[in-house]
Structure 1
Amino acid sequence: MTQATPRPPGTPCWVSLMVHGLDATQEFYNALFGWEFVPGPQHLGPYVRALLGGKEVAGIGQLPPDRHLRIAWTPYLATKDADETAEAIRSCGGTVAVGPLDAGEAGRLAICSDPAGAVFGIWQAEAHHGTAAAGPPGTPVWNELLTYETSGTGKFYRTVFGFDVEPVISADHDYATLYVAGTPVASLHGVGNALPRDRGPHWMTYFEVADTDAAARLVLELGGQVLRPPRDGTAGRLALAADPEGAVFTLVRSAKR
């Protein structure tokens, strides 16, 4: 198993999904992305790590039967001190819903939300540094926050994580890129009232695919949904999809490919 290297604070370092049907979800993502699975830390219940070519790319856990939370992919942002970052999140108007708590010897985590309600995790790495592959088909390659507006939201993430926030100057789009040490690591997209009423502000994970159209067809065959058909965008060819339990994600064949 290939280990990831430590990430600078603020960098998205992992994506995780909590579902009710762990076995069925593994079957879906195995067929869609070719993931294989190994047991991970069981601190919050049954949990597996997804591998692609022997490299860790994501995590999937099982919710207790009585927990009816929104099923969603959650990005984790790296931190050197989960407790200190959790306190900063609270002091800046965010919420810490779970933790900070230890995930065995892997590290320390908390599940949080920003002032607008978008959920994300923080990860203080010990033995486990996070995603060990990003770029090949089947790996997470980008995270974008869909929110009401980017100005106040950007201030929150800049204050807590030290991001440089670079807005796109446009009369038509409210968009900003988050940078860590000069490297773009995530984006903010203000869409105002165009946010889905049933989701509100939320983080979106992009997974690389070799062929967006074929991947979208496969999602349907596997019992998922295609919420927005394949289309060409500045990042590449994109489609918005959901797995059988409703976790939404973006398929992308990046423009660089």
Structure 2
Amino acid sequence: MAVRPEGTPCWADVMSPDAGGAKRFYGGVLGWTFVEVPSEDGYYIEAYADGKAVAAVVPPAPGQEDRSQWCLYLASGDAVATAGRIRDSGGRVLMEPVQADDLGALCLARDPGGVLFGVWQAGRHEGFQATAGPGAYCWAEVLTREPEKSDAFFPAVFPYRAKRREDAETDFRVFGLGDRSVLGRMRMTEDFPPGTSPCINVYFTVTDCDAAVARAVELGGVLRFGPLDTPFGRFATLGDPQGADFSVIDTTTARGEGPTLTDVP
């Protein structure tokens, strides 16, 4: 079994109260096909892009049955130990580590600023079977109004090294493992609608950003931001019909030079 380094984004699921609606929407926008897996929690539906598992549709977290949202899972070699570091670093464990048969173990948590994320200790289910290709996960960013809390928390729980973007207009950091950038962190500004909750925004690759936006709106989704050309590709942020936000990006259309990043002491 391939072991992902601690803290690597390794899986994502959309917690949705309407499994059928989620399948119709994401199947239309990202081209996913689906396989339902028996579950004691009501339903667990794996999503596939080009025959590879890339995400899942699951019931909402306890206490949030009326809310749809994406959750990114970070790899752990020991979910119990990671849960302990989460608590010791000021985070809150929402669901204690639980074994999912021989698939692996997981827990759900929030950072001190309220950002939801998951922890996954892989067993038979190793996580993403594909990344970066059409329909697959490619990037994620912590969006928070309290960046100093996230900046202290995540490197305390996972072995991240942080770099800061040298741009006076943008408070942005990148968390890396070795030489590889794995997770961004952006300060939420007044450009975000009032009441927008802190979260981890997940990005999925598409072959045509504008076409994906048009299809999402046609299927009842909402355009939150963009489309916008960037040094990383043309992207847009969308809301699905149940309210879960995510982003799509066409990485083949990069424009301009990337930002300068410097190490954070």
- Cα deviation for residue 172 of structure 1 reads 1.8
1:128-147 aligned within 5 A = 128-147=125-144
The match for 1:62 is 59
Structure 1's 90 and 216: CA in aligned 2 closer, same or farther, altered over 3 A? Answer: same
Partner amino acid, structure 1, of 2:54: V
1:193-208 aligned within 5 A = 193-208=190-205
Structure 1's 68 and 246: CA in aligned 2 closer, same or farther, altered over 3 A? Answer: same
The match for 1:161 is 158
**Number of equivalent positions:** 254
Structure-2 separation of matches of 1:70 and 1:24 = 14
Contact 2:112 2:149 in 1 (8 A): no
Alignment pair present for 1:78 and 2:75: yes
Structure 1's 103 and 41: CA in aligned 2 closer, same or farther, altered over 3 A? Answer: farther
In the TM superposition, structure 1's runs of 4+ consecutive aligned residues that sit over 4 Å from their partners are 64-67, 192-195
SS of the residue aligned with 1:24?
Answer: helix
1:116-195 aligned within 5 A = 116-195=113-192
Structure 1's 69 and 161: CA in aligned 2 closer, same or farther, altered over 3 A? Answer: farther
Structure-2 separation of matches of 1:237 and 1:123 = 30
Query: Among residues 231, 242, 246, which one is paired with 1:234 in the alignment?
Result: 231
SS of the residue aligned with 1:93?
Answer: coil
Q: Which runs of 5+ in 1 are unaligned?
A: none
Partner amino acid, structure 1, of 2:248: L
Identify the range of structure 1 (188-197 vs 242-251) with the bigger mean alpha-carbon deviation: 188-197
- Cα deviation for residue 23 of structure 1 reads 1.4
Contact 2:28 2:216 in 1 (8 A): no
Query: Among residues 242, 247, 251, which one is paired with 1:245 in the alignment?
Result: 242
The match for 2:88 is 91
SS of the residue aligned with 1:38?
Answer: strand
Structure-2 separation of matches of 1:217 and 1:256 = 18
The match for 2:39 is 42
Structure-1 separation of matches of 2:226 and 2:191 = 18
Contact 2:222 2:240 in 1 (8 A): yes
Contact 1:230 1:238 in 2 (8 A): yes
Q: Can you list the C-alpha shifts for 1:154-190, whole angstroms capped at 9, x where unaligned?
A: 2210010010111113322111111112211111111
Partner amino acid, structure 1, of 2:187: G
Query: Among residues 5, 17, 22, which one is paired with 1:20 in the alignment?
Result: 17
| % identical aligned pairs | 35
Partner amino acid, structure 2, of 1:250: S
- Cα deviation for residue 200 of structure 1 reads 2.5
Identify the range of structure 1 (122-131 vs 165-174) with the bigger mean alpha-carbon deviation: 165-174
The match for 2:261 is none
Identify the range of structure 1 (72-81 vs 143-152) with the bigger mean alpha-carbon deviation: 143-152
Q: Which runs of 5+ in 2 are unaligned?
A: 255-265
- Cα deviation for residue 85 of structure 1 reads 0.5
The TM-score normalised by the length of structure 1 is: 0.92
- Cα deviation for residue 255 of structure 1 reads 4.5
Partner amino acid, structure 2, of 1:105: D
SS of the residue aligned with 1:179?
Answer: strand
SS of the residue aligned with 2:82?
Answer: helix
Contact 2:70 2:245 in 1 (8 A): yes
- Cα deviation for residue 231 of structure 1 reads 1.4
The match for 2:108 is 111
- Cα deviation for residue 43 of structure 1 reads 4.5
The TM-score normalised by the length of structure 2 is: 0.89
Partner amino acid, structure 1, of 2:34: F
- Cα deviation for residue 99 of structure 1 reads 2.2
Query: Among residues 8, 20, 33, which one is paired with 1:11 in the alignment?
Result: 8
Contact 1:22 1:60 in 2 (8 A): yes
